[in-house]
Amino acid sequence: MVNKIVDSINEAIGPISDGATVMCGGFGSSGIAFNLLDALLEQGARELTIIANNAGVGETGVAKLLREHRVAKVICSYPRSPGSIWFERRYEERAIDLELVPQGTLAERIRAAGAGLGGFYTPTGYGTELAKGKRTEVIDGVGYVFERPLAADVALLKASQGDRWGNLVYHTTARNFNPIMATAATTVIAEVSEIVELGALDPESVVTPGIFLDRVIEVDQVFV
Amino acid sequence: MVNKIVDSINEAIGPISDGATVMCGGFGSSGIAFNLLDALLEQGARELTIIANNAGVGETGVAKLLREHRVAKVICSYPRSPGSIWFERRYEERAIDLELVPQGTLAERIRAAGAGLGGFYTPTGYGTELAKGKRTEVIDGVGYVFERPLAADVALLKASQGDRWGNLVYHTTARNFNPIMATAATTVIAEVSEIVELGALDPESVVTPGIFLDRVIEVDQVFV
Amino acid sequence: MIRFTPEQIAARCAQDIPDGAYVNLGIGMPTEVANHVPAGREVIYHSENGVLGFGTAPEPGTEDPDLINASKQYITMQPGGAFFHQADSFGMMRGGHIDISVLGAFQIAANGDLANWSTGSEIYPPAVGGAMDLAVGAKQLFVITRHTHKDGTPKLVERCSYPLTGASVVSRIYTDLAVIDITDNGFQVIEMHGENSLDEVQQLTGARLLPPA
Amino acid sequence: MIRFTPEQIAARCAQDIPDGAYVNLGIGMPTEVANHVPAGREVIYHSENGVLGFGTAPEPGTEDPDLINASKQYITMQPGGAFFHQADSFGMMRGGHIDISVLGAFQIAANGDLANWSTGSEIYPPAVGGAMDLAVGAKQLFVITRHTHKDGTPKLVERCSYPLTGASVVSRIYTDLAVIDITDNGFQVIEMHGENSLDEVQQLTGARLLPPA
């Protein structure tokens, strides 16, 4: 029987190696798996590469991992936000590498990894600093940048409901990067505010089919 | 006020030029906009390029267009099915061109057009006849075929419900190619079995946001 | 010689579908595999036209005319199923999310090349559908097929003469005579049905068979 | 000279948002445009974080903590809205489905180049977000900005000295002094606010202005 539901947050986060690449869903403070990020901190993995839209604010989520020197590299589109003090400090100290990626390119690279593509041409960033060193090509008069897929060892997702097959639905704009990250990591873990019976989710409305999921845990949602 | 609902099938199909490229949703007999295809036949446009998964069976849909000599070219993955007599006849007569595309590549090319990408690398078809004449590349040890986006002048969709903004939901596997074709044509037209009030569709469950739609018409659904 | 019926081949293949597997069954004989998966295993079936978690055929009269599988047969849904569009469906395949794909074959080469979409006929219009995506994407590609063509010529060959569906894609072959893995050294017999001997099976095979361990 | 307030600039820009337009408003002054669209026009707003058809700010105490716009402000939904994921959201932008994108700017060049994401500082960590996608994707890109930097140096220039957001992307510029189109011949003044003269505005501009027709 397929049962992806686990009972403890430590079981949910499981073994994560030093040097692992971790995708973290979320945009701003919406859709971030704060419980799983706390569990990752407790679990102790170091030298992490974090793939996320932002790089954490205040003393929460990715910011806590940065504070505790667990992060070697950040791949994101918008690391600097009001309150991103730990990112800014580690960046100034040159303690972390930063790969800055336009947000649509970040999303598309993640999708490409999940969909088994070898890369794609995007018009975004053509003629800008962020295309420097990248292969470019003019096709039918439009300039494009060649971008490679972006996969991860682990993805940490936040959803609203999940079932034992791992099917997920999200709440409003907390959806953001979560469904695409679900497709692009070797191990995919979701925290949900409610586990529901198999069959309770409408198959027309499932956003992330369970095929992508490894583990699902019910948590009290955290908002910051 | 945004109102994409039209009252007559002729108004729905609108002006389509000779030589137009027309995307037709559907897989097998599921999710095909038979009412719109009939209206296209009546409208009279000739020398059409049809983009669809299949090339019509019996005397319905695309098969009727082929019978009436309206089709110059078919771009599809699976033109030959039990009952695809008009496709087979026109093919044998060399009256039509055929561009055969692996189904996942067809879907991805349509999505790429809708998403503004300049092309992508797929492993599908590498080392096969269908990659002949195409640019290929080995990236990190995997062979890929370079594929270009596929756009159309018109897309004819079948959905189950729609509203005046053009938001659409589908019914079971009638979804198939419809949501991606919605993104990839200059003019996008949907037949639905029910027009609903704005706000009746759950924003979490809308599959095709209205931004992609031009015209929506309520019809009696046809099944063959 | 012992020759399995298509149903027996499908049943043998079904033994190797583990509990919890995500499986795509190709058109024709592969579809039969679902009817033989041992009781107690929960298998989640994918169909290329945008559905996961479908069930058995509907009772006559209860068909949903929109709800079909890749073979255009009516299906039902299991609790826990989901619908999605064609680009997402093929992303699942190419992205390596399907555990097992079961396909038929015209020819399989000793290096795992598969030919199953075209006989190269000039008369007959070609059709590929999802065959090439299925061949390239699944974690394991099982082929179920008769060991030879109807005229007795081998389907298992040194090199495919028919146009390829995919290069080096097949993991394991279930035929009416044997179960055979593709290895770096070529065709490796895993088991032979009944009392079939390696020599007998070898004579109906177009490339060298390595004996079972 | 007549200098429009940020609110007046936003209001002037809002006049050019037609009924039925799909519009993405950037962070900061562009957000203000929504408050000035003339009554009777139905405008559908897109935010990069996966929402179409959002409405005004919620009443205090009724916020949904998950429901925010790109500026991380709480929003509400209009009837007819929809949610989608980030890849679909940016597909909408890049694919040319957004009619109008309104952005702020550090510099705009006479050829339509836009710089608004980086001042090139070595000290301050960079952040790009969706700026480059918005710049490249919308059918029309409107910029709303003060005509000059705070120190009086021009923002409208012959060539951007700041790192580009996109090349040849801007359609029209709304400043506190004038409305200016990007044309093949460079900056084309469409209208000047109040009694501002071409000479006065030209002196605060780093490239030649073509007089209004």
Strand partners, B138: B143
pLDDT per residue over A168-197, tens digit each? Answer: 999 999 999 999 999 999 999 999 999 999
Mean pLDDT, range B52-62, rounded to an integer: 96
pLDDT per residue over B152-210, tens digit each? Answer: 999 999 999 999 999 999 999 999 999 999 999 999 999 999 999 999 999 999 999 99
Which chain B residue shows the shortest CA-CA distance from A136?
A: B118
B154, part of any domain: yes
Residues in A touching C82 (Cβ below 8 Å):
167, 201, 203, 206, 209-210
- Residue D112 CA from chain centroid, whole number: 13
Q: Which of A181, A199, A201, A183 is nearest to A36 (CA)?
A: A181
Chain B: closest CA distance from residue C34 (Å): 20
The closest CB to that of D137, out of B113, B116, B203, belongs to B116
B96, part of any domain: yes
pLDDT per residue over D161-211, tens digit each? Answer: 999 999 999 999 999 999 999 999 999 999 999 998 999 999 999 999 999
Predicted pLDDT of residue B146? 98
pLDDT per residue over A11-20, tens digit each? Answer: 999 999 999 9
Cross-chain residue pair A178–D85, CB shorter than 8 Å: yes
Are the beta carbons of D131 and D161 closer than 8 angstroms? no
Predicted pLDDT of residue C124? 79
Chain A: closest CA distance from residue B41 (Å): 32
CA–CA distance, A27 with A21 (Å, rounded to integer): 19
Mean pLDDT, range B50-55, rounded to an integer: 97
CB pairs under 8 A between B and D: 69
Cross-chain residue pair B203–D81, CB shorter than 8 Å: yes
Tokens describing residue D139? 């059918």
Chain B: closest CA distance from residue A177 (Å): 15
Answer yes or no: is pLDDT of D27 > 90: no
Which regions of D40-118 does DSSP assign to beta strands (E)?
Answer: 44-47, 51-54, 77-83, 100-103, 107-109, 114-115
Mean pLDDT, range A31-35, rounded to an integer: 98
B78, part of any domain: yes
Mean pLDDT, range D130-147, rounded to an integer: 96
pLDDT per residue over A61-116, tens digit each? Answer: 999 999 999 999 999 999 998 899 999 999 999 999 999 999 999 999 999 999 99
Cross-chain residue pair D22–B113, CB shorter than 8 Å: no
Q: Is D203 helix (H, G, I), strand (E, B) or coil?
A: helix
Mean pLDDT, range A148-154, rounded to an integer: 98
First to last CA, chain C: 21
Cross-chain residue pair D127–A77, CB shorter than 8 Å: yes
- Supply φ then ψ for residue D7, to 5 degrees: -65, -40
Q: Which of A5, A34, A1, A52 is nearest to A168 (CA)?
A: A5
Cross-chain residue pair D90–A103, CB shorter than 8 Å: yes
Which residues does chain C have with pLDDT short of 70? none
**pLDDT exceeding 90 applies to what percent of chain A?**
97
Predicted pLDDT of residue B137? 98
Mutation choice for D interface testing from A175, A191, A206 by most D CBs within 10 A: A175
Cross-chain residue pair B209–D94, CB shorter than 8 Å: no
Are the beta carbons of B131 and C164 closer than 8 angstroms? no
Predicted pLDDT of residue B165? 98
Range of the domain at A72: 18-101+150-218
First to last CA, chain D: 21
Mean pLDDT, range D46-74, rounded to an integer: 95
Answer yes or no: is pLDDT of D58 > 80: yes
A121, part of any domain: no
Predicted pLDDT of residue D142? 98
ipTM: 0.97
Predicted pLDDT of residue A94? 94
Mutation choice for A interface testing from C86, C94, C100, C139 by most A CBs within 10 A: C94
Distances (CA, A) of A40 to A22, A79, A219, C206: 10, 20, 15, 54
B25, part of any domain: yes
**pLDDT exceeding 90 applies to what percent of chain B?**
97
Predicted pLDDT of residue A150? 98
Predicted pLDDT of residue C123? 73
Mean pLDDT of chain A: 97
Domain count, chain B: 1
Distances (CA, A) of C14 to C103, C142, D178: 13, 11, 73
A128, part of any domain: no
Predicted pLDDT of residue B213? 98
Tokens describing residue C16? 């190797």
CATH of the domain at A171: 3.40.1080.10
What strand order describes the sheet that includes D156-157? Answer: D114-115, D107-109, D156-157
A107, part of any domain: no
Answer yes or no: is pLDDT of D29 > 90: no
Predicted pLDDT of residue B135? 98
Indicate which residues of D carry an active-site annotation. Answer: 48
What strand order describes the sheet that includes D77-83? Answer: D77-83, D51-54, D44-47, D22-25, D100-103, D140-144, D172-174, D178-183, D186-192, D209-210
- Percent of chain A as helix, strand, coil, to the nearest 5: 25, 30, 45
Chains that touch B (3 or more CB pairs under 8 A): A, C, D
Mutation choice for C interface testing from A165, A167, A169, A195 by most C CBs within 10 A: A165
The structural domains of chain C, ordered by start, are 6-210 (3.40.1080.10)
Are the beta carbons of D167 and D115 closer than 8 angstroms? no
Answer yes or no: is pLDDT of D122 > 90: no
- Residue A224: which pLDDT band, with cuts at 50, 70 and 90? confident
Cross-chain residue pair D19–B1, CB shorter than 8 Å: yes
Residues of A with CB under 8 A from a CB of C: 1-2, 111, 113-117, 163-165, 167, 183-184, 197-199, 201, 203-204, 206, 209-212
CB pairs under 8 A between A and D: 146
3-state secondary structure chain C: CCCCCHHHHHHHHHCCCCCCCEEEECCCHHHHHHHHCCCCCCCEEEECCCEEEECCCCCCCCCCCCCECCCCCECCEEEEEEECCHHHHHHHHHCCCCCEEEECCCEEECCCCEECCCCCCCCCCCCCCCHHHHHHHCCEEEEECCCECCCCCECEECCCCCCCCECCCCCEEECCCEEEEEECCEEEEEEECCCCCHHHHHHCCECCEECCC
